[in-house]
Chains A and B, each alone.
Chain A
Amino acid sequence: MASVAYPVDEHSAQALGLPSALHEWVITVDHKRLGIMYMIMTLVFFMIAGTLAVVMRTQLSIPNNSLVPPEVFNRLFTVHGTTMVFFVGMPFFAGLANYLVPLMIGARDMAFPRLNAFGFWITLFGGILLYSSYIAGEGLAGHGTAPDVGWFAYAPLTERAFSRGTSTDYWILSILLSGIGSTITAINVIATAMSLRTKGMTIAKMPLFVWMMCVVSFQILVALPALTAGQVMLLMDRYLGAHFFDTQAGGDAVLWQHFFWFFGHPEVYILIIPGFACISEIVPVFSRKPMFGRIAMIGATVAIGFISLSVWAHHMFAVGMSSQANTFFAASTMLIGVPTGIKIFNWLGTMWGGHIRFDTPMLFCIAFLFQFLIAGLTGVMLGVAPLDWQLTDSYFVVAHFHYTLMGGTVFALFGGFYYWFPKATGRMLSETLGKWHFWLLVLGFHLTFDPQHFAGLLGMPRRIYTYAAGRGWEGFNLVSSVGAAVQGIAVLILAINVIVSLRRGRVAGNDPWDAWSLEWATTSPPAEYNFETLPEVHSTRPLWDLKHPEDPDWKFE
């Protein structure tokens, strides 16, 4: 397909000057601009929270280090975790879904564009509110501090008696706001997919990406209210004198954990399934094959959506639940490994026998497969309740969930970023810098997190600000800290790549990857109305049918 020179918009930034351009972005309800703003928000907060992680790793690099005092260290891991989950992972989902779902189903915009804009701004406001606690918050010591209660903020430790001041309230309110934004996005995604599909695109023909985004949205609608409700109860406890989590008035010390993890475990799937969605688009295109086991893939995703609602208490094996409860949650945790395994199998089946192109997006996907598999295996280990009693709250757990969220979600995020950047900007990212970014990140990632498994097995607990020498943890921690620095360099290369490529990158054209879904049928970047003419959809790969009219997919589906 010949690329179409993208039409110069009279209202583009160059024509109007910076203030007007900014104004246009602030008042926009266009799903593509909102998607881009979500992605910028994701990357900015990723770099901020990543910097916090590097500070923590520096503190832990040698025993008895005194770079960071303990109370500051508590704030570091709290804000790092909270940011990564709510202001990196969630906007990543929202940004991808906003930008791509309408394009993939051939719609002009999301179902509720103004609501969509509101969702973005309230999410961003939540993120800013969290960080403003560094200036305005008041903690135990009576001076300005950020929240220091962990991203899970276990009540009753977050009750007024134990968490004085306002720092905990910053945690509650900023996440409450981001929750409103996530709910809005979830409603919007489902309504868009159900109501705005183009002619011929039945639900069965929706791209896997859209399917998976719908499952994530479903999970958000079911699980997020548990956190919201818990936070409202906590606020009532703190400010109205209620007793939801007040053990002295007969309240339960474990109730918050149930509410939090009823949200928290679906949440980890809410964070990883957008990654699955990217992988499921990229792997077939770069293997030059249709998705292997597409129906099984959809089934597995839906299964994960449901089973993920019944595994939450495997985060709580150590709090003293009944053995029946432990058995149930251990079993359901094993069960959810099955659909996840099906997915890995399907991606490998797609690559098997394909003409694999090792461009940067595909490299990230391959690393994802490898790392996410290991993450899943350590997850199954931790799902065995007796082993969890040994490993709980150790660095083994830290290594496990960083393998899923960093080795999984973030690698998929970068894969998707390299894949769709040409569509959103009209220019390709540099492959050379991309490969440097990829290999340094892989190296840094494994240097950082592989040794943490061993430190954890040797008994190193989480959330400690320092440790004594002579326990056999020194080597692992030093390597881990070096790895963090390498990852930092890798992310800087990405930033340089974006800045350089935006100015001087190769012009992408409509369809630089020779792909098959509808977003590649329009200009890069797409006009505000998305499509001038829409191809008819007769199969799950409408662009393949157009490019190969003599051998169309719909003959075989």
Chain B
Amino acid sequence: MPEATAIALPPLEETTLIDRGKVGLICLIFTEIALFSIFVTAYVFYIGKSLNGPYPKDVLTLPIWATICLLSSSATVEMAIRSLRRDKAGAFKLWLGLTILLGAEFLHQTAVEWHKLITQEHLTIATNLFGTTYYALVGLHASHVVIGLSLLLLTLIIALRGFNLEGAQERRVELLSWYWHFVDAVWVVVFTVVYIVGR
């Protein structure tokens, strides 16, 4: 390779590189949005097309308490990240623990709702189109809550066992919080479609 160049090289152009974790997570969320869109499409497409009951207006009640829990968990996870940035390990664990409790309460509420629908209203995934699309969409979201919750729990265990999450690990926890925000945002869509539009 020739060492000397005849014409002096210009200064290198500045390149802006984005953190690979952020790009990866944004891509993941992007493709998850596409996945949810298909299930939402199926739900909306089949609104009012069930051949037999029970129908949404008869059996669904607004899950206000569950929604409050899940949405406020977005705020608490944000508080946890801020504590982490300020090197307040104790506050971080506290806020993280609270986030997990709120997420768990949301799942508990979903379980209670499903139990009531299955045992009292006799609505299963096989009952009618409403049951099919309802359990698929809400279940898909709940499974994402389970994944997010498991990761938050793992983070809490790591923190409680005394590992230092500040500094280099901070961005990983922050990316996890992005995922949790995404799960919450999807709930807003699911809530609107299932409990408001679909009822």
Contact = CB atoms under 8 A, between A and B. Distances in A.
User: Are A and B interaction partners?
Assistant: yes
Interface stretch (A249-257, A359-367, A492-500): A249-257
Interface stretch (B21-29, B58-66, B76-84, B178-186): B21-29
B7 A202 contact: no
B20 A194 contact: yes
Contact of A249 (B30, B34, B51): B51
A434 to B, nearest CB: 29
Interface stretch (A31-39, A222-230, A408-416, A440-448): A222-230
A537 B12 CA distance: 7
Interface string B1-27: 110111101101111011110011001
A67 B38 CA distance: 43
Given A195-B23, A229-B38, A187 B10 contact: no
Contact of A191 (B7, B24, B42): B24
A196 B19 CA distance: 9
Contacts of A223: 34
Contacts of B17: 194-197
Given A224-B31, A228-B35, A242-B132, A187 B126 contact: no
Given A221-B27, A225-B34, A194 B126 contact: no
B34 A549 contact: no
B20 A225 contact: no
Q: For chain B, which range describes its interface: under 10, 10 to 19, 20 to 34, or 35 or more residues?
A: 35 or more
B125 interface: yes
Given A187-B27, A190-B23, A226 B18 contact: no
Nearest to A217: B27
A224 B132 CA distance: 22
A1 interface: yes
B39 interface: yes
Interface string A234-274: 00100011111000011110010001001000000000000
Contact of B10 (A188, A226, A554): A554
A244 B27 contact: no
Contact of A255 (B15, B45, B135): B45
Nearest to A111: B20
Interface in B103-129: 124-126, 128-129
Given A191-B20, A221-B27, A244 B125 contact: no
A195 B27 contact: no
B136 interface: yes
A139 interface: no
Contact of A221 (B19, B34, B50, B128): B34
Given A111-B23, A197-B15, A255-B45, A242 B136 contact: yes
B7 A190 contact: no
A66 to B, nearest CB: 43
Q: For chain A, which range describes its interface: under 10, 10 to 19, 20 to 34, or 35 or more residues?
A: 35 or more
A470 B9 CA distance: 73
A201 interface: yes
Contacts of B86: none
Contacts of A186: 27, 31
Contacts of A547: 2
B49 interface: yes
B126 A240 contact: yes
B24 A241 contact: no
A226 B32 CA distance: 10
Contacts of A250: 46, 49-51, 128-129
B128 A550 contact: no
Contacts of B125: 236, 240-242
Given A195-B23, A225-B38, A226-B38, A550 B7 contact: yes
Contacts of B38: 225-226, 229-230, 259, 262
B31 A222 contact: yes
Contact of B5 (A194, A220, A224, A549): A549
A538 interface: yes
Given A195-B17, A222-B34, A249-B128, A538 B10 contact: yes
Contacts of A535: 1
Contacts of A241: 124-126
Residue of B18, B23, B46 ringed by the most chain A CB atoms within 10 A: B23
A281 B196 CA distance: 53
Nearest to A188: B24
A111 B124 CA distance: 43
Nearest to A187: B27
Contacts of B12: 199-200, 536-538
B168 to A, nearest CB: 16
A244 B132 contact: yes
B5 to A, nearest CB: 4
A314 to B, nearest CB: 19
Given A200-B15, A202-B15, A250-B49, A194 B132 contact: no
Contacts of A220: 31
Given A196-B17, A229-B38, A243 B128 contact: yes
A183 B28 CA distance: 9
A199 B13 CA distance: 8
A546 interface: yes
A344 B35 CA distance: 34
10 contacts: A194-B18, A228-B35, A229-B38, A244-B132, A244-B133, A251-B46, A262-B38, A537-B12, A538-B13, A554-B10
Interface of B: 1-2, 4-7, 9-10, 12-15, 17-20, 23-24, 27-28, 30-32, 34-35, 37-39, 42, 45-46, 49-51, 124-126, 128-129, 131-133, 135-136
A-B CB proximity, top 10 nearest: A241-B126, A549-B5, A229-B38, A225-B35, A195-B20, A550-B6, A225-B34, A111-B20, A200-B12, A221-B31
